Amino acid sequence: MRKSLFVSIVFVLLISLVVAGCSSGTTENQSPNSEDTEEKPIENVEQPEPKLKVGLLLSGPISDMGYNASAYEGLMEAQKKFDIEVNYHENVAQSDMESILRNYAVNGYGLIFGHGYQFTDAIVKVAAEFPDIKFVINSGRDAFPPNVASSATSSSQQGFLMGATAALITESKIVGAIGGQEIPSIKETIEGMKQGVAYVDPDVKILTTFTGSFDDVAKAKETALAMIDQGADVIMASANQAGLGTIEACVEKGVLAIGCNEDQNPIAPDTVVTSGIKSVKDSVVFMVEKVLNNEFEPIVYKLGVKEGVVYLAPWHGFEEKIPQEIKDEIAQITQDLADGKIEVKIN
């Protein structure tokens, strides 16, 4: 009996020791694991800022070798220079302006260009719905705080250089100037042409008209042919894509042309003497940089000869044909415009 009781006590003690040992082991094993499972603070990783998205609406095609092509080239140059995201929409009808602008806005575009004065009303309306997005009216005349600016590259100075050149190279003493739609920027170009002609030679007659269209090439050609029939031997046009029709007319009739907005000599190397450049390309890059540097203001940015965005294209194949005295006079007129010695007056 005592032996049996003794054995039972020993058995119980052994069981207690085993249980205690197991418990001790478990506690030791859990301690490191509990440290591993503690939540560690997440280090702040600096996230890269999203790229600026820039949208461009164009009234005509990017292949017009003129006004619209220049804006497209500016967009591509800005993308290359600043590493931004870009998109564009060409041949935008007036009835579609608001919807396309709004689509860019809701899709996170931080800067949206309307390329031409005709986009003004649509931009003003859409911009009011998206006050944090910046809008620019190329060839605009007004600003609309807090988020709409205009980039007003000087159409009048461009026209002045073209008109002065025409007056210097004409032999018949009759030149022609054709405008597309009768909007402020085009009217200012034509007015500048008139003043440039008069500045060089008041005896030179300038024939002017507006066709009412930026894409009717045939109508611009017909208008140019009518001017040539009246004795014009130099024709210039500010009519975007339609201006190509004036060059066609000059080629057919063997008279000289002065290109507009882009260097149009490659279109007709034996016809286009030079071109009046209004570098929308440079103005687009200028405005993108303003936004990236947080320097954008809802104002009218006036850019001209002084800023290097208005100038004449090279003479190309006419370099040897144009007398040096004429080239020197054009160079002096350009410098005088830059220095403010010549002021083109627009009503």
Render pLDDT for 261-302 as a digit per residue (tens, 0 to 9): 889 999 999 999 999 998 889 999 999 999 999 999 999 998
- Kindly list the domain boundaries of the chain, sorted by start residue: 53-154+282-303, 155-278+310-339
Pairing of strands 174-179, 234-238: parallel
Q: Classify residue 47 as exposed, middle or buried by CB count within 10 Å of its CB (0-12, 13-18, 19+).
A: exposed
pLDDT single digits (tens) 69-103: 999 999 999 999 999 999 999 999 999 999 999 99
Q: Which of these, 318, 345, 217, lies nearest to 258 by C-alpha position?
A: 318
Contact 235, 246 (CB under 8 A): yes
Q: How do the residues of the chain divide into helix, strand and coil, expressed in percent and rounded to 5? A: 50, 20, 30
What is the pLDDT, as a whole number, of residue 46? 59
pLDDT in tens, 17-36: 444 444 444 333 343 344 44
**pLDDT given at position 226:** 98
Distance separating alpha carbons of residues 246 and 218, to the nearest angstrom: 9
In CATH terms, are 53-154+282-303 and 155-278+310-339 the same topology? yes
- Say whether pLDDT at 6 is over 90: no
Does residue 347 have a pLDDT over 90?
A: no
Q: Mind listing the pLDDT tens digit for each residue in 293-337?
A: 999 999 999 899 998 899 999 999 999 999 999 999 999 999 999
β-sheet bridge partners, residue 157: none
Q: Would you state the pLDDT for residue 48?
A: 65
CA distance 18 to 75: 81
Q: Please write the tens of the pLDDT for every residue from 189-242.
A: 999 999 999 999 999 999 999 999 999 999 999 999 999 999 999 999 999 889
- CATH class of the domain defined by 53-154+282-303: alpha beta
| Per-residue pLDDT, 307 | 87
Q: In which band, very low, low, confident or very high, does the pLDDT at 44 lie, cut at 50, 70 and 90?
A: low
pLDDT digits (tens, 9 = 90+) for 113-161: 999 999 999 999 999 999 999 999 998 989 999 999 999 889 999 999 9
CATH among 3.40.50.720, 3.30.390.30, 3.40.190.10, 3.40.50.2300 for 155-278+310-339:
3.40.50.2300
